[in-house]
Amino acid sequence: MDLRFQQAPAAEWQANTVLLFNFKDEAVTESIPNLSETIPWITITPAIQDAKGEKNQVTVAYGHPSIPLPRAIIVGLGERKSFTLKVLRDAVKTAALKCRELKVDTCAIPVETIDTIDEENAVLIEEAVASALIALHTYDALKTTQKEPAHTPRWMGLLSSEENFPDELHAAARRGEAAAAGVNYTRDLVNAPANVITPAVLAEKAEELGKKYNFKRTILGRKEIEKAGMGAFMSVAAGSDAEPKFIVLEHAPKGTETDDPIVFVGKGVTFDTGGISLKPSLGMHEMKCDMGGAGAVFGLFEALGNSDIERRVIGITPCTDNMPSSTATHPGDVVTSLNGKTIEVINTDAEGRLILVDALTYAQNEFKPAALINLATLTGACVVALGAHAAAVFSTDDELSKTITDTGELVGDRYWPMPLWDSYFETLKSDVADMKNVGSREGGAIHAALFLKQFVEKDVRWAHLDIAGPAYNTKGGATGFGVRTLLEIVRKGV
Ligand code: BES
Ligand code: ZN
Ligand code: ZN
């Protein structure tokens, strides 16, 4: 769906359907200023009585078909005093899906109608645009018998009666569009099954992104990964014939090439069977989502390519599947990681941490990160702790942790802080190596985080985001969780 900007006196606005939002216990005419000038018919249509403003209540009202804005979809925002950006995102999603259901050809939001909402108009526009585009995106690349693809309006217009369409709102809408492009890119990667998205295909995608947006890329294959000394990463790839790929993307606009970069590392397990420590078959198909961290890093780069952000950013994604076979790592094997530490692989299903530690070491060897942030669908224990509503954030840097949590809240990615106390290391101690790859079951998400911490230098600002819960829903599939947080962190700097 394209975006259009219409700047004209209200009487000349054109769209098939206008989207309006109103608060509870306020007359629509009160919630939406200048309604009598913009859409005069709506002030007298009886249907408006039904729009009570209850959260996500939808009312459709019709004017005469010959009128330039002949139909309105009004969505409730609930009580004015409890308004949040999430309320707006949900309401816009509801409106967008109603447009789909009614097969609306073109829709529009008069920007003046948000004037009474107590939040910057630019923020509201950015969120509204992002939410509509995310809501309408579907993954149907593999459906061949579907009669017609899910309907999407041709364009969404933003209408303004000001003399010039306000620059800051135009820029805000484009920011929302770039963010949605990133989120939807990630969703497509994560929704795609493991026979479609292999490590080699991810490497091709990185090439494509690099060529399109001028990102530097470094891609290591099996031989190079082995030669580099990434024994922990290799131990996961050992069971698979599919070639692992260690992918590095770099966004360094002119003048930023020598800056300390923000480095993101994403777990890219394209399928997690558990390896020799095989997972039960029920629900195993969902483990195609185990590259959700890498997917978010790729989505960030898609968003960066559509933005104008002058900051150096590195994205590192170790990609492999985790398979059982005669060449697979046995439980009990000891492997040597890139930084020389030895790991006793007690459970081959705790593979994410093995590939991540070599990527974290690489990040610190090759760059001087201003911040080092990794994302991973790392533990089932985290899903038990927080469910699907939030990711856990683990960090030794309270400021970084707060930046991530606050930024996430703003854009709709929720994070909750979890501890990294060294006392949890007790059960990670090994009799034969420097550490085991799993600790006791209780506190499993913390053990995984503490394992990663062993590979991060003390002076590095590091955070680990366990996104196993919110990255993928059994109903609804991939969410693109994390992309918007990363994008905003890059925009603001850390
Ligand atoms: N990929 C899984 C974690 C996961 C679980 C992601 C649910 C998304 C949804 C991870 O590699 C894993 O298998 N972790 C094990 C660790 C255990 C063996 C210590 C787990 O959580 O059970
Ligand atoms: Zn696993
Ligand atoms: Zn995994």
Q: What pLDDT digit, counting tens, does each position of 302-312 carry?
A: 999 999 999 99
Q: Shortest CA distance to 184 belongs to which of 42, 340, 300?
A: 300
Bridge partner residues of 109 (DSSP): 158
For residue 41, the 8-state DSSP code is G
Task: Please give the model's pTM, rounded to 2 decimal places.
Answer: 0.98
Q: Are 367 and 466 in contact (CB under 8 A)?
A: no
The answer to whether the CB of 350 is under 6 A from ligand 1 is yes
Q: Are 179 and 294 in contact (CB under 8 A)?
A: no
Residues 242, 390, single domain; the answer is yes
For residue 349, being part of any structural domain is answered with yes
Tens digits of per-residue pLDDT, 32-63? 877 888 888 998 999 999 999 999 999 999 99
The answer to whether the CB of 272 is under 6 A from ligand 1 is yes
How much is the pLDDT for 244?
99
Nearest atom in ligand 1 to the alpha carbon of residue 269 is 1
Return the HEC string of 283-340. CHHHHHHHHHHHHHHHHHHHHHHCCCCCCCEEEEEEEEEECCCCCCCCCCCEEECCCC
pLDDT at 267 > cutoff 90: yes
Rg of the chain on CA atoms, in Å: 24
pLDDT at 103 > cutoff 90: yes
Q: What is the mean pLDDT of residues 145-168?
A: 91
Residues 63, 128, single domain; the answer is yes
How much is the pLDDT for 32?
81
Catalytically annotated residues: 279, 353
Bridge partner residues of 477 (DSSP): 473
Q: How far is the CA of 86 from the centre of ligand 1 (A)?
A: 29
**Going by CA atoms, what residue is nearest to atom 3 of ligand 1?**
379
How much is the pLDDT for 11?
81
Tens digits of per-residue pLDDT, 62-73? 998 888 899 999
The structural domain count of the chain equals 2
* Model confidence band, residue 339 (pLDDT cutoffs 50, 70, 90): very high
The answer to whether the CB of 322 is under 6 A from ligand 1 is no
How much is the pLDDT for 30?
80
How much is the pLDDT for 378?
98
How much is the pLDDT for 34?
79
How much is the pLDDT for 1?
95
The answer to whether the CB of 275 is under 6 A from ligand 1 is no
Q: What is the mean pLDDT of residues 377-403?
A: 98
Residues 375, 435, single domain; the answer is yes
Q: How far is CA 88 from the centre of its chain?
A: 18
Residues 133, 233, single domain; the answer is no
Q: How far is the CA of 269 from the centre of ligand 2 (A)?
A: 9
Residues 206, 315, single domain; the answer is yes
Domain with 404 in it: 179-492
Residues 192, 320, single domain; the answer is yes
For residue 166, being part of any structural domain is answered with no
Measured CA distances, 250 to 257, 299, 364 (Å): 10, 13, 15
Ligand nearest to the CA of 444: 1
Q: What's the CA gap between 467 and 408, in Å, rounded?
A: 12
- Burial (CB count within 10 angstroms: exposed 0-12, middle 13-18, buried 19+), residue 446: buried
Tokens, residue 12 = 């000349």
Nearest atom in ligand 1 to the alpha carbon of residue 439 is 19
CATH number at residue 189: 3.40.630.10
How much is the pLDDT for 146?
83
For residue 100, being part of any structural domain is answered with yes
**Polymer length in residues for the chain:** 494
Q: How far is the CA of 278 from the centre of ligand 2 (A)?
A: 9
The answer to whether the CB of 45 is under 6 A from ligand 1 is no
The answer to whether the CB of 438 is under 6 A from ligand 1 is yes
How much is the pLDDT for 35?
83
Last residue of a domain, one of 127, 161, 195: 161
* Model confidence band, residue 222 (pLDDT cutoffs 50, 70, 90): very high
Tens digits of per-residue pLDDT, 133-142? 999 999 999 9
Q: How far is the CA of 69 from the centre of ligand 2 (A)?
A: 53
> Which of 235, 349, 384 should be mutated for ligand 1, with most atoms under 8 A from CB?
349
pLDDT at 162 > cutoff 90: no
How much is the pLDDT for 9?
84
Residues 220, 119, single domain; the answer is no
For residue 401, being part of any structural domain is answered with yes
For residue 466, being part of any structural domain is answered with yes
The answer to whether the CB of 253 is under 6 A from ligand 1 is no
Q: Shortest CA distance to 339 belongs to which of 220, 219, 445, 233?
A: 233
Task: State the virtual CA torsion across 205, 206, 209, 212 in degrees, nearest 10.
Answer: -100
Residues 364, 470, single domain; the answer is yes
CATH number at residue 130: 3.40.220.10
For residue 169, being part of any structural domain is answered with no
Q: What is the mean pLDDT of residues 366-371?
A: 98
How much is the pLDDT for 235?
98
Question: One-letter amino acid identity for 145?
Answer: T
Residues 157, 183, single domain; the answer is no
How much is the pLDDT for 112?
86
* Model confidence band, residue 28 (pLDDT cutoffs 50, 70, 90): confident
* Model confidence band, residue 115 (pLDDT cutoffs 50, 70, 90): confident
Q: Shortest CA distance to 215 belongs to which of 165, 272, 257, 271?
A: 257
Q: What is the mean pLDDT of residues 98-105?
A: 98
* Model confidence band, residue 121 (pLDDT cutoffs 50, 70, 90): very high
Q: How far is the CA of 281 from the centre of ligand 3 (A)?
A: 15
Residues 230, 359, single domain; the answer is yes
Tokens, residue 193 = 């099954």
Bridge partner residues of 21 (DSSP): 75
Residues 76, 202, single domain; the answer is no
Q: Are 29 and 35 in contact (CB under 8 A)?
A: yes
Last residue of a domain, one of 110, 128, 161: 161
Residue whose entry in the numeric block shows the structure tokens 């709102």: 169
**Going by CA atoms, what residue is nearest to atom 14 of ligand 1?**
379
Q: Shortest CA distance to 238 belongs to which of 252, 224, 226?
A: 226
Q: Are 21 and 114 in contact (CB under 8 A)?
A: yes
**3-state class (DSSP) for residue 435:** strand
For residue 271, being part of any structural domain is answered with yes
For residue 397, being part of any structural domain is answered with yes
Other CB atoms within a 10 A radius of the CB of residue 389 amount to 9
The answer to whether the CB of 112 is under 6 A from ligand 1 is no
Q: What is the mean pLDDT of residues 272-295?
A: 98
How much is the mean pLDDT over the chain? 96
Q: How far is the CA of 369 from the centre of ligand 3 (A)?
A: 25
How much is the pLDDT for 12?
84
Residue whose entry in the numeric block shows the structure tokens 């707006």: 88
Residues 337, 461, single domain; the answer is yes
